[in-house]
């Protein structure tokens, strides 16, 4: 899923402080699961903002809504009738949702309420970690199903670098060295010999280097 | 390995069976070239080539290529260090050509320290290639005269290709395979991480020999004289991939503060003497960090002086 | 024991402090409460295993947020005691009341008064 | 026999007003006497709801000693409280003249006072006077029956006459008193001079009587003009004759008629009526009574120069009060003892002298006093001018003439019936001095009171004597005199200075001031506990106090009896010389110290030492006080709990003091043998730094507040250490009361008087049908006691199983009304709780306020909402007003919610439509000093409750039938007994055993330490199992699957060698998977055939005996108490000792050495340890860090260890080495994961609560027994098996289970399937279902609400605590704040 983190409230305040009436829109997908932008967080943010503005002598009306998803037209349509009354929307969806809402409702400023972080997993309750950078050319088959692009600080395809220490990355003791993981797993799979196969120079064009990407499935298109 | 592939003096010394001695200089954080040239002057008679580091520890400095050019102009043989952190494949190839245009003949291919250690931790890194792929790239450009994109190069670069190896980094079991991988990528000489744990290094070398890698690549053992007990401890505890045994730290702390520098030199000399005996060690890379004036003493006391004269 | 404690306290009953939502805490302040505290069982003695530990985390969340928006995180507290500790309950009530008195009323009151004026 | 508690618990609301007003302060047993409580007190302080009781013993001795039966203790306590009016009310129930008697009563009560045993009697009389001094008795409203038409005549207005008139008036009979003298009062007036009894006091108190309508006719002597018969004729239906004894007795010596001789009574009468009388210069008074003294003191006041009292015995025999004699002497009266007058010397008919003779004391006379005998020839003359004989008085019956039918005695008194005071003449009664001869005023008062009762009955024509026989109690039970009471001298009374006394009759004794009075009153020991002041009766609005409750004898028909009377704690007092427990306040028993640690204890959990309140910095514990001690007290057993509690106390004390405390435990062996106890011990030692000193303290030397402990260590080194406090770790003892109790029940006791039980029937006493549990059977810890309690319940249930389900009442409820489409109609009931709430909160105002709230259609005030009549009224109101929500503003829902909910259900309302506002515990009780704020808060709480009530919706509790079948996993001794425990109660039971045969570990065992044959037992047990029609045994069976929930489980099995798959449905599970003996890795086990475990050794001894053994060494704690298994295996010490004793029995010449760390023969097993030592088994201690070593060589087997006393290594050759290998649980890893069972680090299953639920698992419907729970003896396993069966049966015997409706529910349309609920639920209940959304099984949900408050999609609500319901409270509380 997409993992996001709540934006510091002061940042949101700074963006919306000049409006009078705003809508906080949550999303019941990834951001709910990663506890950054579900209905509950909408409530928490709304309550905190109301208090802030009262406390700072400002009249601010704040409403709450949580959509099933903000990355689909149909769900975004649900607020068409009410959205007109707001000066701005703070979307707690990922960056995708924020943009999609903005594309749909062109006259209303939409502000992000979360920092969209990465695609990752819930390692345990309250701990999410990155697993994929969407490079568009999956190499996991060559790296014991552990992605050095998303998990090595230097994205080394033929790691590890000399900074790998006790299984940890040189940049942080809390970060596993992806290449250590790869090697460990290769060992477990009894395929350590694969390590010596050089990974070729990567074609990054399917990653962001190639510009905005698009997937089109003609076979399913309506 | 009698034949050489490049005009590199270093390659020549090595291929003729001599113990090579290299050292390195860090460029200044400014545009005054004297910082490099003065250092180089101090050691030019005692070493075969001088590495110029490339924004070492991710701190922005005078560029490696320009510094190499200063040395070259002084008649000193430089080794251009090049990290893949800061340049994509276009810039890398372009700089290689730049070096070649000044007849710089040695290159050391590195991935580079992560920018989070340096002065621009919020910067983006590139890592379009990794060090292995840079090795491959240089060899492609030199040997096949081609760019990565496949186009031909007019006057391909003549670079003796080196890389680093760290016998002490984790995971230990892939230290030798990793070297093998670099060899497979086309590396011709290796400068190792500073060696303090000689036992472990010997073990590594044994495995290197077991695989016959010592016959495919010149291994220059890296040494760094310790200036103080504090430095020893710092290296032990703080520098990733550094293995400083307790005995070394104890030995440094065992002498009075004034004598510690001298003790550091002693250890370094003793190490070189022991390393010389190891089969497959083909030279030394002396990294006297901001202590270049001591390099001559080390080289002399280690019996590596005078340096052989090579016909260019 | 009938120990006396300050009368400024109104108790809202929940089956476990684990039921106390951060929203309950925030809304209390939004509606004008001067302070909120949550009294749970001793840590390790939760009838539902860990409800009180969950509650403590939410209190910490609320504290951080209230600090940021200028209400004052200290206005929310979590206390743990056993049902046999009446005197401690009274002590906590007094402590909390004193803390809130020292901090003054919920700043929203003053702010709204100013707005009205 | 049910003893009365004097409080009707059906009415008591637990408000505590009775205790508040109760004056009697007693030691609080709950705090081990470290704090105080009242005689009216909460009987079980931790019970909820807590009803009160009144503690009473027999009537106090002072009361019994008072002729008039005054409630002395009662009024003394009232004076102590400064409640003078109340004191007088108590006094004046019997005595109309408090101020009078408060001065002149001879106070027989004080002679009876038990305070004398401490120091001096309480000054009771003076305290009575204090009451009358501080409050005018005339202002007391005397309760009187309505006046009747009959009238009575009373002859004489002395104390008897006045008392009779007073008591008659109270009974509604008005009387007329005929008084011969010009002023009323009788002897009180004319016999007692004003310096002792001021006239105005007497006058005022006579007014008390006349105020009731009694008429006193003075100067109305009885005689020829007014005969008794005439009175009857005049219409007086009863006559009371109380003319007193006013005639002085003559000396009977020559010259007595001379001028200058006057009878003492006559002299006093003249003084008292006229204010003066002639006195001579030299005055002789004969006699030794109070009259003689009164005469002397009066004469002095009237100017007599020399006053000499002549008394024939010594001062010791003088009947006058000592203080009077002293006063007389102080005032100048001389007293001549052992002298008697022989002749009055006269001249001209006037007295001029007196001839006396010296006396000496001879043999005792009938009064017990030594008879005075004249000394011949010792006559001497005395010059006097006035002689006043005062040797006694008699009634002057001549004045009344001869009355028909009335008998008189030879002492000239009237004869009456001793109980009714009736003379033989109908209607004529007599009392006072005229009937008794001269006696004390209070006696006359008593007589008058009794006569009044008789007259009433006489007038009513009732039997006058019935029920008035005096009851005597040969052996009264009183409150014991507290052992640590402080001495306090009786308060002296201020007196008029001597020089101020001459020439006047001003009162000499000036009374106590209030302070003195209070302090004197507080010296009272409250012998009867309750003083019957009845303040509590007035204070109790619920009218629950009932002082006249009597003990009731009840017969209950029963099928079995379970005894759990417990034991008493060892009392160190008899060994004061050593323990110094009573003499030093900082030496406490462990139970007292527990109270100091307790938050509800006397110091509210603050650590303070008793002597000076200082926070202790060093505390010592002395173990084995009264246990393992045959030197002092013959308690040879170990009390089994003291080590653990001492460690606990030390740890908690340290925690309380946040580390500023040094604790030291002096012990012989640390016996932390229970499950996980050893870990606690280790933590205490290593983490908390509790010091453990292996030593017995030999001397405790108090030094000021501190204590010096002297002890010698293991090496014999002497030490001294100073401590702030010492705690005596006292053990258990069976006291006399329990021994007698056992005797009454006819059950046998062992030599220490614990109940005797057989090894294989651990809860059966010697009498069939009578079971026992707890420390009455043997010392044991709480888990074992609780386990046995369940076990005995099981045993009893088996006896009673036929009667199961009979004698029960079912409550039928009307069908529930559907309120779903009704608007909320809320009824609010605001409770006064007597004055508990109404005394602080303005309840009517709250009611008015409640009526103004939205949706509230009805509100009212209840005096006691919980009383039955109120409940009935509420039902009516709910129906009449069609209420569909109810709010009760009263006390705590914890205690009363179910009651009110039942009331709603009786009205057809769903019980979840109820809400409570706690305006008592959270308001009136805690803000008592601020009624205004409390009222404001009550309104808030009611408003909040009403707001929530409006949002409540009906919830249905799910009822689930139970599969009435049990699954027992494991067929060892525990499993089999558990199965029998259930099957014998009629429940179908299936035993699953993985082996081919039943029996488990017991198959390897020979005998118990007591000598019972285990194999024989096992054969019998298996036989019973196999023949039992309700038990099915599946051997060689594995459990492969498990599911369902409590009451409805299913288990999948692979049965038999053929692995036949079976699925069993069952309602409960009993885990009895057992344990096995640890296979040692240590000490060369398995490498040498001479090295074996204790089980091996037991078998070897059975087979080969011990004739070939010269030396056997045993090593303890093998595989226990080490890093790998930190726990003690509990059984190994006794296994070793059992085998050692067996060896010694087989071959006394075999040397047996046991190498141990601590010997842990807890409880009664200590006797075997003692026996082993006596039989020559040698014990050597080794420490964990230096374990013994073993060498097996060709030359033999050697054990090398360090002897702690010698401090050097010993190397001993041995024929055998027995390793006391501990226990390890059977491998249950897979089972635990299939059923999801919690286990500890060693793999033993974890019970739900170590102490309170020792055989339950946290998983409902799953129970645990035997060694699967932890190492234990076979006897303990059997008990636990029965306990598990009992718990399981309790569950199975319900027809269905009712699940709480307070469960979480998911709005699945909102669920994001984030798994957070799945992760946070402490019970793993939520799951993501096949539709990909969360689902919470209400049957499994515990209702904590954690999931609801963590759900990021806000898709989960907890029933009854829905967010909007909670928020409604906040909204309404904070409405308008912003």
pLDDT 10s digits, D1004-1043: 999 999 999 999 999 999 999 999 999 999 999 999 999 8
Number of CB pairs < 8 Å for A and D? 39
**What is the 8-class DSSP label of residue D921?**
I
Q: What is the pLDDT of residues A60-112, one digit of tens each?
A: 999 999 999 999 999 999 999 999 999 999 999 999 999 999 999 999 999 99
> Residue D46's closest chain C neighbor by CA?
C84
Q: What is the pLDDT of residues D992-1007, one digit of tens each?
A: 999 999 999 999 999 9
Using the Cα atoms of residue B297, residue B301, residue B304 and residue B306 in order, give the sign of their dihedral.
Answer: positive
CA dist., res. B192 & res. B281, Å (int): 10
Say yes or no: D588 and D610 in one domain.
yes
Say yes or no: A105 and A170 in one domain.
no
- Number of domains observed in the structure of chain A: 2
The mean per-residue pLDDT over the stretch B95-118 comes to 95
CB contact under 8 A, D1354 and A39: yes
Percentage of chain D modeled with pLDDT above 90:
77
Say yes or no: A15 and A111 in one domain.
yes
* Angle D613-D615-D617 from CA coordinates, rounded to 5°: 140
> Residue C32's closest chain A neighbor by CA?
A51
Say yes or no: D1176 and D1278 in one domain.
no
* Angle D204-D207-D209 from CA coordinates, rounded to 5°: 130
Structural domain harbouring D1086: 1077-1224
pLDDT for res B312: 60
CA dist., res. D1305 & res. D1362, Å (int): 10
Taking a C-beta distance cutoff of 8 angstroms, is the pair D456, D175 a contact?
no
CB contact under 8 A, A8 and C68: yes
Helical segments of D911-1054, H only: 931-951, 973-983, 1014-1027
Answer yes or no: is A219 within a domain: no
CA dist., res. B298 & res. B289, Å (int): 13
How far is CA D473 from each of CA D60, D67, D108, D476, rounded to the nearest angstrom? 12, 16, 18, 6
CB contact under 8 A, C108 and A54: yes
Site from D598, D893, D923, D926 to mutate, C interface, most C CB atoms within 10 angstroms: D926
Q: What is the pLDDT of residues D6-61, one digit of tens each?
A: 999 888 888 888 999 999 999 888 888 888 899 999 988 777 667 899 999 999 99
**What is the 8-class DSSP label of residue D530?**
S
Site from B90, B128, B130 to mutate, A interface, most A CB atoms within 10 angstroms: B130
Residue D1138, pLDDT above cutoff 80: yes
Query: A150 to chain B nearest CA, in Å?
Result: 13
3-state secondary structure of A12: helix
From D1247, D1270, D1297, give the residue that closes a domain. Answer: D1297
The mean per-residue pLDDT over the stretch D302-327 comes to 91
From A72, A93, A118, give the residue that closes a domain. Answer: A118
Query: C80 to chain D nearest CA, in Å?
Result: 14
From A64, A84, A118, give the residue that closes a domain. Answer: A118
Name residues 865-924 of chain D within 8 A of C (Cβ): 893, 918, 922-923
Q: CB contact, 8 Å: D47 with chain C?
A: no
The size of chain C, in residues, is 117
CB contact under 8 A, D1316 and A35: yes
Answer yes or no: is A82 within a domain: yes
Answer yes or no: is A75 within a domain: yes
DSSP string, D1150-1163: SEEEEEESS----G
CB contact under 8 A, D1349 and C54: yes
> Residue A207's closest chain B neighbor by CA?
B128
Residue D922: half-sphere exposure toward Cβ, Cα within 13 Å: 23
**Which among A9, A40, A56 has the least Cβ separation from residue C65?**
A9
The pair of structure tokens assigned to D402 is 């001869």
**What is the 8-class DSSP label of residue D306?**
E
DSSP string, D1127-1190: S--SSHHHHHHHHHHHHHHH-TTSEEEEEESS----GGGHHHHHHHHHTT-EEEE--TTS--EE
CB contact under 8 A, A59 and C112: no
Q: CB contact, 8 Å: D926 with chain C?
A: yes
CA dist., res. D777 & res. D1164, Å (int): 10
Confidence of residue C35 (pLDDT cuts 50, 70, 90): very high
Helices (H) and strands (E) in chain C, counts: 4, 2
CB contact under 8 A, A196 and B181: yes
Say yes or no: D1123 and D1190 in one domain.
yes
Structural domain harbouring A149: 133-209
* CATH number where A79 lies: 3.40.50.2300
Answer yes or no: is A216 within a domain: no
Say yes or no: A108 and A140 in one domain.
no
**What is the 8-class DSSP label of residue D920?**
I
Nearest Cα to Cα of residue D546 among D532, D559, D560, D556: D532
Distance of CA D689 to the CA centre of its chain: 36
Nearest Cα to Cα of residue B224 among B246, B254, B193: B193
Nearest Cα to Cα of residue D688 among D651, D634, D717: D651
Confidence of residue A119 (pLDDT cuts 50, 70, 90): very high
Q: What is the pLDDT of residues D674-708, one digit of tens each?
A: 999 999 999 999 999 999 999 989 999 999 999 99
CB contact under 8 A, A162 and B166: yes
**Which among A28, A29, A125 has the least Cβ separation from residue D1310?**
A28
Answer yes or no: is D811 within a domain: no
Taking a C-beta distance cutoff of 8 angstroms, is the pair D957, D1300 a contact?
yes
Say yes or no: D1103 and D1180 in one domain.
yes
Site from B86, B148, B174, B178 to mutate, A interface, most A CB atoms within 10 angstroms: B174
The pair of structure tokens assigned to D459 is 């007038």
Residue A50, pLDDT above cutoff 90: yes
Answer yes or no: is D96 within a domain: no
Query: D939 to chain A nearest CA, in Å?
Result: 27
Say yes or no: D1139 and D1279 in one domain.
no
Taking a C-beta distance cutoff of 8 angstroms, is the pair C115, C28 a contact?
no
Torsion of CA B238, B240, B244, B246, to 10 degrees: 50
Query: Is there contact between D and C if contact means ≥3 C-beta pairs under 8 Å?
Result: yes
Name residues 195-214 of chain A within 8 A of B (Cβ): 195-196, 198, 200-201, 204
**φ, ψ dihedrals at D126, nearest 5°:** -60, -30
Site from D1306, D1311, D1312, D1370 to mutate, A interface, most A CB atoms within 10 angstroms: D1312
The DSSP bridge partners found for residue D14 are: none
The size of chain A, in residues, is 222
Residue B190, pLDDT above cutoff 70: yes
Chain A residues closer than 8 Å to B89 by CB: 201
pLDDT for res D224: 82
Say yes or no: D261 and D355 in one domain.
yes
CB contact under 8 A, C54 and D1348: no
Answer yes or no: is D654 within a domain: yes
Chain C residues closer than 8 Å to D893 by CB: 13
pLDDT for res D1378: 86
CB contact under 8 A, A39 and D1314: no
CATH number of B9-301: 3.20.20.220
- Number of domains observed in the structure of chain D: 8
3-state secondary structure of B14: helix
Confidence of residue C116 (pLDDT cuts 50, 70, 90): confident
pLDDT for res D226: 85
Between D820 and A138, where is the model more confident?
A138
Confidence of residue D402 (pLDDT cuts 50, 70, 90): low
Say yes or no: D754 and D845 in one domain.
no
**What is the 8-class DSSP label of residue D358?**
E
Residue D442, pLDDT above cutoff 90: yes
Residue D1267, pLDDT above cutoff 70: yes
Q: CB contact, 8 Å: B164 with chain A?
A: yes
Chain D residues closer than 8 Å to A32 by CB: 1312, 1314, 1352-1353
Say yes or no: D719 and D579 in one domain.
yes
- Least confident span in D418-427, D635-644, D935-944: D418-427
Residue B1, pLDDT above cutoff 50: no
CB contact under 8 A, A196 and B180: yes
Q: CB contact, 8 Å: A153 with chain B?
A: yes
- Least confident span in D194-198, D227-231, D897-901: D227-231
Taking a C-beta distance cutoff of 8 angstroms, is the pair B156, B184 a contact?
no
Say yes or no: A71 and A146 in one domain.
no
Give helix D642-656 / helix D590-597 axis angle, nearest 10°: 30
CB contact under 8 A, A201 and B173: no
DSSP string, D765-783: -SSTTEEE-GGGTS---HH
**Which among D598, D1322, D1366 has the least Cβ separation from residue C24?**
D1366
Say yes or no: A175 and A69 in one domain.
no
Q: Residue D889: exposed, middle, or buried by beta-carbon count in 10 A (0-12, 13-18, 19+)?
A: buried
- Least confident span in D27-31, D529-533, D1116-1120, D1122-1126: D27-31
Percentage of chain D modeled with pLDDT above 70:
99
Q: CB contact, 8 Å: A14 with chain C?
A: no
The residue with tokens 């999410």 is: A128
Q: What is the pLDDT of residues D1349-1359, one digit of tens each?
A: 999 999 999 99
From A55, A87, A118, give the residue that closes a domain. Answer: A118
Q: CB contact, 8 Å: A121 with chain D?
A: no
Answer yes or no: is D88 within a domain: no
Cβ-based neighbour number of residue D591 at 10 Å = 16
Q: Which chains touch A (3 or more CB pairs under 8 A)?
A: B, C, D
Answer yes or no: is D916 within a domain: yes
Residue D871, pLDDT above cutoff 70: yes
Chain C residues closer than 8 Å to D922 by CB: 11
Cβ-based neighbour number of residue B137 at 10 Å = 24
CA dist., res. D880 & res. D883, Å (int): 8
Residue D829, pLDDT above cutoff 90: yes
């Amino acid at each position: 899923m997409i993992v996001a983190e709540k934006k510091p409230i002061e940042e949101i305040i700074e963006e919306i402080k000049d409006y009078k009436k705003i809508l906080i829109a949550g999303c019941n997908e990834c951001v709910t699961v990663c506890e950054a932008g579900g209905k509950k967080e909408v409530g928490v943010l709304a309550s905190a903002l109301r208090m802030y503005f009262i406390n700072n002598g400002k009249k601010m009306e704040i409403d709450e809504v949580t959509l099933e998803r903000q990355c689909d037209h149909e769900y975004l349509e649900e607020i068409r009738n009410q959205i007109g009354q707001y000066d701005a929307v703070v979307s707690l969806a990922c960056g995708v949702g924020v943009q999609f809402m903005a594309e749909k409702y062109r006259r209303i400023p939409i502000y992000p309420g979360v920092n969209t972080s990465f695609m990752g997993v819930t390692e345990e309750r309250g701990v999410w970690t990155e697993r994929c950078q969407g490079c568009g050319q999956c190499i996991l088959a060559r790296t014991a199903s552990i992605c050095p692009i998303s998990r090595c600080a230097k994205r080394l395809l033929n790691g590890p670098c000399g900074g790998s220490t006790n299984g940890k990355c040189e940049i942080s003791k809390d970060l596993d060295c992806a290449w250590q993981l790869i090697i460990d797993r290769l060992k477990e799979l009894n395929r350590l010999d694969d390590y010596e196969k050089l990974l070729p120079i990567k074609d990054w064009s399917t990653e962001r280097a190639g510009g905005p990407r698009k997937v089109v499935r003609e076979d399913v298109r309506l | 390995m009698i034949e050489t592939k490049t005009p590199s003096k270093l390659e020549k010394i090595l291929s003729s069976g001599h113990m090579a001695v290299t050292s390195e200089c860090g460029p200044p954080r400014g545009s005054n070239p004297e910082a490099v040239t003065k250092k180089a002057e101090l050691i030019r008679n005692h070493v075969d080539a001088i590495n110029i580091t490339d924004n070492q520890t991710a701190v922005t400095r005078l560029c490696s290529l320009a510094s190499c050019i200063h040395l070259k102009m002084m008649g000193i043989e430089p080794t251009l260090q090049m990290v893949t952190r800061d340049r994509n494949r276009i810039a890398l190839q372009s700089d290689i050509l730049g070096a070649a245009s000044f007849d710089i003949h040695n290159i050391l291919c590195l991935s580079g320290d992560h920018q989070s250690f340096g002065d621009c931790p919020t910067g983006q890194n590139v890592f379009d290639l990794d060090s292995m792929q840079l090795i491959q790239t240089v060899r492609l450009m030199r040997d096949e005269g081609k760019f990565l994109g496949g186009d031909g190069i007019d006057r391909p670069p003549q670079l003796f290709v080196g890389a680093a190896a760290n016998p002490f980094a984790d995971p230990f079991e892939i230290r030798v395979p990793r070297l093998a991988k670099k060899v497979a990528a086309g590396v011709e000489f290796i400068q190792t991480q500073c060696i303090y744990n000689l036992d472990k290094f010997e073990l590594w070398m044994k495995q290197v020999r077991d695989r016959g890698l010592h016959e495919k690549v010149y291994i220059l053992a890296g040494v760094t004289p310790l200036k103080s007990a504090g430095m020893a401890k710092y290296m032990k505890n703080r520098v990733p991939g550094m293995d400083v045994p307790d005995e070394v730290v104890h030995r440094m702390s065992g002498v009075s503060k004034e004598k510690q520098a001298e003790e550091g030199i002693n250890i370094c000399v003793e190490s070189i003497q022991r390393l010389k005996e190891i089969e497959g060690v083909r030279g030394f890379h002396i990294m006297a960090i901001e202590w270049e004036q001591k390099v001559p003493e080390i080289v002399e006391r280690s019996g590596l002086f005078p340096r052989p004269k090579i016909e260019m | 024991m009938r120990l006396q404690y300050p009368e400024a306290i109104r108790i809202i009953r929940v089956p476990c402090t684990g039921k106390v939502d951060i929203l309950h805490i925030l809304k209390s302040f939004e509606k004008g409460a001067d302070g909120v505290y949550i009294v749970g069982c001793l840590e390790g003695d939760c009838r539902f295993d860990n409800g009180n530990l969950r509650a403590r985390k939410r209190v910490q969340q609320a504290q951080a947020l209230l600090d940021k928006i200028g209400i004052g995180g200290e206005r929310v507290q979590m206390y743990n005691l056993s049902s046999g500790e009446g005197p401690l309950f009274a002590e906590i009530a007094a402590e909390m009341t004193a803390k809130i008195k020292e901090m003054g009323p919920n700043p929203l009151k003053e702010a709204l008064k100013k707005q009205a004026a | 026999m049910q003893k009365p508690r004097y409080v009707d618990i059906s009415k008591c609301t637990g408000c505590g007003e009775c205790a508040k007003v109760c004056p009697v302060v007693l030691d609080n047993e709950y705090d081990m006497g470290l704090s105080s409580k009242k005689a009216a007190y909460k009987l079980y302080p931790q019970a909820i709801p807590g009803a009160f009781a009144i503690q009473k013993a027999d009537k106090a001795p002072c009361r019994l000693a008072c002729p008039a039966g005054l409630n002395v203790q009662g009024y003394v306590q009232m004076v102590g409280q400064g409640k003078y009016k109340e004191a007088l009310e108590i006094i004046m129930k019997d005595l109309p003249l408090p101020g009078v008697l408060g001065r002149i009563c001879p106070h027989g009560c004080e002679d009876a006072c038990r305070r004398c045993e401490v120091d001096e009697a309480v000054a009771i009389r003076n305290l009575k006077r204090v009451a009358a001094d501080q409050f005018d008795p005339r202002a007391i409203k005397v309760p009187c029956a309505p006046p009747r038409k009959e009238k009575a005549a009373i002859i004489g207005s002395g104390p008897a006459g006045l008392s009779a008139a007073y008591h008659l008036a109270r009974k509604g009979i008005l009387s007329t008193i005929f008084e011969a003298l010009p002023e009323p009062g009788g002897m009180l007036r004319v016999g007692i001079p004003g310096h002792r009894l001021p006239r105005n006091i007497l006058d005022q108190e006579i007014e008390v009587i006349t105020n009731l309508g009694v008429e006193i006719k003075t100067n109305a002597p009885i005689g020829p003009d007014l005969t008794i018969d005439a009175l009857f004729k005049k219409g007086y239906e009863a006559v009371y004759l109380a003319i007193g004894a006013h005639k002085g007795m003559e000396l009977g010596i020559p010259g007595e008629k001379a001028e200058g001789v006057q009878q003492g009574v006559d002299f006093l009468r003249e003084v008292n009526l006229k204010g003066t009388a002639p006195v001579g210069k030299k005055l002789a008074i004969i006699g030794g009574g109070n009259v003689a003294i009164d005469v002397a003191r009066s004469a002095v006041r009237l100017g007599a120069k020399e006053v000499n009292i002549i008394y024939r015995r010594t001062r010791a025999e003088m009947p006058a009060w000592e203080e009077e004699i002293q006063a007389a002497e102080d005032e100048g009266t001389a007293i001549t003892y052992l002298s008697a007058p022989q002749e009055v010397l006269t001249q001209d008919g006037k007295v001029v002298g007196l001839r006396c003779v010296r006396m000496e004391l001879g043999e005792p006379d009938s009064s017990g006093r030594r008879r005075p005998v004249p000394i011949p020839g010792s006559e001497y003359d005395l010059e006097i001018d006035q002689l006043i004989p005062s040797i006694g008085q008699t009634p002057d019956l001549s004045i009344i003439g001869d009355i028909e039918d009335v008998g008189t005695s030879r002492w000239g008194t009237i004869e009456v019936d001793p109980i009714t005071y009736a003379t033989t003449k109908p209607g004529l009664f007599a009392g006072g001095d005229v009937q008794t001869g001269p006696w004390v005023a209070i006696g006359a008062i008593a007589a008058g009171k009794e006569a009044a009762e008789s007259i009433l009955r006489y007038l009513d024509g009732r039997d006058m004597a019935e029920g008035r026989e005096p009851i005597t109690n040969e052996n009264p039970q009183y409150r014991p005199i507290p052992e640590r009471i402080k001495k306090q001298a009786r308060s002296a009374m201020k007196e008029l200075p001597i020089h101020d006394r001459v020439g006047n009759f001003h009162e000499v004794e000036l009374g106590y001031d209030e302070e003195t009075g209070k302090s004197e009153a507080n010296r009272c020991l409250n012998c009867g506990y309750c003083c019957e002041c009845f303040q509590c009766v007035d204070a109790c609005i619920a009218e629950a106090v009932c002082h006249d409750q009597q003990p009731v004898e009840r017969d209950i028909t029963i099928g079995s009896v379970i005894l759990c009377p417990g034991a008493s704690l060892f009392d160190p007092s008899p060994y004061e010389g050593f323990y110094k427990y009573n003499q030093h306040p900082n030496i406490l028993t462990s139970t007292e110290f527990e109270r100091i640690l307790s938050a509800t204890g006397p110091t509210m959990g603050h650590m303070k030492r008793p002597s000076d309140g200082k926070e202790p910095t060093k505390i010592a514990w002395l173990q084995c006080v009264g246990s393992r001690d045959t030197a002092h007290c013959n308690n040879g057993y170990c009390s089994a709990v003291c080590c653990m509690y001492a460690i606990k106390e030390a740890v908690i004390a340290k925690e309380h003091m946040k580390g500023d405390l040094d604790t030291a435990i002096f012990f012989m062996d640390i016996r932390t043998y229970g499950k996980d106890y050893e870990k606690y011990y280790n933590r205490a030692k290593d983490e908390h730094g509790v010091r453990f000193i292996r030593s017995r303290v030999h001397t405790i030397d108090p030094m000021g507040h501190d204590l010096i402990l002297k002890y010698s260590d293991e090496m014999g080194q002497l030490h001294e250490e100073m401590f702030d406090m010492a705690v005596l770790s006292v053990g258990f003892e069976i006291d006399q009361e329990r021994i007698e109790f056992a005797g009454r029940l006819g059950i046998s006791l062992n030599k220490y008087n614990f109940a005797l039980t057989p090894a294989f029937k651990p809860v059966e006493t010697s009498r069939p049908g009578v079971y026992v549990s707890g420390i009455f059977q043997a010392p044991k810890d709480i888990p074992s006691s609780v386990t046995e309690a369940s076990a005995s319940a099981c045993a009893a249930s088996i006896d009673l199983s036929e009667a199961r389900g009979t004698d029960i009442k079912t409550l039928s409820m009307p069908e529930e009304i559907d309120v779903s489409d009704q608007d909320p109609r809320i009824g609010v009931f605001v409770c006064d709780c007597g004055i508990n709430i109404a005394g602080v909160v303005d309840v009517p105002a709250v009611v008015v306020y409640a009526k103004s709230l939205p949706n509230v259609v009805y509100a009212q005030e209840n005096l006691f909402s919980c009383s039955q009549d109120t409940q009935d009224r509420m039902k009516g109101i709910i129906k009449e007003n069609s209420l569909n929500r109810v709010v009760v503003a009263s006390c705590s829902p914890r205690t009363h919610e179910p009651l009110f909910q039942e009331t709603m259900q009786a009205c057809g309302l769903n019980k979840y439509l109820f809400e409570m506002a706690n305006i008592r515990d959270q308001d009136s009780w805690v803000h008592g000093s601020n009624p205004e704020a409390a009222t404001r808060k009550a309104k808030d709480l009611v408003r909040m409750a009403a707001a929530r009530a409006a949002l409540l919706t009906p919830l249905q509790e799910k009822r689930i039938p139970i599969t009435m079948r049990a699954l027992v996993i494991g067929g060892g001794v525990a499993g089999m007994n558990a199965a029998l425990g259930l099957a014998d109660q009629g429940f179908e039971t299936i035993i699953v055993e993985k082996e081919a045969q039943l029996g488990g570990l017991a198959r390897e065992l020979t005998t118990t330490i007591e000598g019972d044959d285990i194999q024989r037992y096992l054969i019998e047990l298996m036989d019973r199992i196999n023949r039992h029609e309700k038990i099915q045994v599946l051997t060689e069976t594995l459990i492969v699957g498990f599911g369902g929930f409590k009451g409805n489980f299913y288990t999948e099995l692979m049965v038999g060698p053929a692995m036949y798959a079976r699925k069993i449905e069952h309602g409960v599970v009993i885990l009895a998977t057992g344990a096995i003996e640890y296979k040692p890795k240590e000490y060369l086990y398995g490498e040498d055939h001479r090295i074996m475990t204790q089980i091996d050794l037991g078998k070897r001894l059975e087979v080969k005996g011990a004739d070939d053994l010269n030396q056997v060494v045993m090593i303890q704690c093998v595989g226990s108490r080490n890093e790998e298994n930190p726990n003690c295996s509990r059984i190994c010490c006794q296994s070793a000792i059992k085998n050692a004793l067996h060896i010694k029995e087989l071959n006394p010449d075999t040397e047996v050495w046991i190498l141990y760390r601590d010997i842990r023969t807890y409880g009664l097993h200590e006797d075997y340890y003692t026996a082993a030592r006596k039989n020559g088994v040698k014990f050597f201690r080794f420490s964990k860090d230096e374990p013994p070593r073993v060498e097996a060589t060709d030359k033999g087997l050697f054990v090398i260890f360090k002897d702690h006393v010698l401090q050097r290594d010993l190397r001993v050759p041995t024929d055998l080495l027995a390793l006391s290998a501990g226990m390890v649980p059977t491998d249950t890893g897979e089972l635990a994961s299939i059923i999801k069972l919690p286990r500890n680090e060693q793999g033993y299953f974890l019970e739900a609560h170590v102490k309170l639920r020792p055989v339950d698992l946290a998983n409902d419907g799953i129970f645990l027994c035997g060694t699967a729970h932890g190492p234990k003896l076979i006897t303990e396993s059997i008990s636990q098996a029965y306990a598990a069966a009992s718990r399981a049966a309790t569950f199975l015997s319900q027809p269905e289970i009712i699940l709480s409706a307070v469960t979480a529910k998911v709005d699945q349309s909102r669920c994001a399937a984030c798994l957070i609920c799945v992760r946070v639920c402490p019970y793993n209940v939520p799951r993501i279902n096949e539709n990909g959304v969360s689902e919470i099984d209400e049957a499994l949900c515990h209702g904590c609400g954690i999931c609801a408050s963590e759900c990021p999609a806000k898709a989960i609500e907890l029933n009854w605590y829905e967010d909007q319901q909670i928020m409604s409270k906040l909204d309404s509380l904070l409405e308008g704040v912003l």
